[in-house]
Amino acid sequence: MTGSGRRSGNAARLGLMAVPVVFFAVFFAYPVAAIVARGLEVDGDWQFGRIGDVLAQPDVRHVLWFTTWQALASTALTLLAALPGAYVFARLDFPGKQVLRAVVTVPFVLPTVVVGTAFLALVGRGGLLDELWGVRLDTTVWAILLAHVFFNYAVVVRTVGGLWSQLDPRQEEAARMLGASRLTAWRQVTLPALAPAVAAAALMVFLFTFTSFGVVQILGGPTFSTLEVEIYRQTSQVFDLSTAAVLTLIQFAAVAAVLAVHAWTVRRRETALRLVDASVTARRPRGAGQWALLAGVLVTVAVLLVLPLAVLVQRSLDAPGFGYYRALTREDGGTFLVPPIDAIGNSLQYAVAATAVAVVIGGLAATALTRRDAGRFVRGFDALLMLPLGVSAVTVGFGFLIALDEPPLDLRSSWILVPLAQALVGVPFVVRTMLPVLRAVDARLREAAAVLGASPWRVWREVDLPMVRRALLIAAGFAFAVSLGEFGATVFIARPDSPTLPVAVARLLGRPGEMNYGQAMALSTILMVVCAVALVVLERLRTDRTGEF
State how far the alpha carbon of 295 is from the alpha carbons of 39, 85, 292, 472, 526, in Å.
54, 10, 5, 36, 31
At residue 68 the predicted structure's pLDDT band, cuts being 50, 70 and 90, is very high
For the chain, domains (ranges, CATH) are: 1-47+341-498 (1.10.3720.10)
Instruction: Write 66-71 long-range contacts (CB < 8 A, 24+).
Output: 66/224, 66/225, 66/226, 67/210, 67/226, 67/227, 68/210, 70/141, 70/144, 70/145, 70/148, 70/209, 70/212, 70/224, 70/226, 71/206, 71/209, 71/210, 71/212
pLDDT of res. 549: 46
Strand 45-46 and strand 41-42: the pairing is antiparallel
Tell me the C-alpha to C-alpha distance, in Å, between residue 97 and each of 2, 83, 87: 48, 16, 13
pLDDT digits (tens, 9 = 90+) for 251-301: 888 887 877 776 676 665 554 444 344 345 667 888 788 889 999 999 999
Backbone φ and ψ for 545, nearest 5 degrees, come out as -100, -5
Position 197 scores a pLDDT of 77
> DSSP per residue over 337-382, as a string?
SS-TTHHHHHHHHHHHHHHHHHHHHHHHHHHHT--TT--HHHHHHH
88-132 pLDDT, tens digit each: 888 888 888 877 887 888 888 777 888 888 888 888 877 788 888
Bridge partners for 11 per DSSP: none
* Averaged pLDDT, 54-80: 91
For the chain, what is the largest distance between any 2 Cα atoms, rounded to a whole number of angstroms?
75
At 144, the pLDDT band (50, 70, 90 cuts) reads: very high
Among candidates 526, 548, 492, 528, which has minimal Cα distance to 235? Answer: 492
Q: pLDDT, tens digit, for every residue of 227-253? A: 888 888 888 787 787 888 888 888 888
Q: What sections of 92-190 are H helices per DSSP? A: 97-109, 112-123, 128-133, 141-164, 169-177, 182-185
pLDDT digits (tens, 9 = 90+) for 157-199: 877 877 777 676 666 667 667 766 667 776 777 777 777 778 8
pLDDT band at 44 (very low <50, low <70, confident <90, very high): low
Residue 346 makes CB contacts below 8 A (sequence gap 6+) with 494, 498, 499, 500, 501
Is the pLDDT assigned to residue 357 strictly greater than 90?
A: yes
- pLDDT, one tens digit per residue, over 420-473 is 999 998 888 888 777 777 776 666 776 777 777 777 667 767 777 677 777 777
Average pLDDT over residues 15-31: 86
Tell me which of 359 and 13 has the higher pLDDT: 359
